[in-house]
Amino acid sequence: MDYSRIIEELKQASLFDLYRLRVAISHQLENPQCIQEIRSRLKLGQTITFFDGVENRLIEAKVIKLILYWHRRAAYETQKSSS
């Protein structure tokens, strides 16, 4: 992706368009199927890279622990349906 071009396009977007994009991106980031697919590919000791938003750069890291991730929406729906 050409992030510089995307940033330039976003500078022209209205607040309404930016909000709609934010919601769409949030839905993609919280998609349980996508999260599970990524988790299934992670292995202990694997070298990965991730984007650090604070430092605004890719960081290389090693997977040292795998934890159970429980999607909060799925947890809510499970609790709601069992009540």
- Number of folded domains in the chain? 1
Range of the domain at 19: 3-82
The residues, ordered by sequence, that sit 6+ positions from 21 with a Cβ below 8 Å of its Cβ are 10, 13
Torsion angle, alpha carbons of 41, 42, 46, 48, to 10: 90
pLDDT tens-digit map of 12-64: 999 999 999 999 999 999 898 988 888 889 999 999 999 999 999 999 999 99
pLDDT at 71: 53
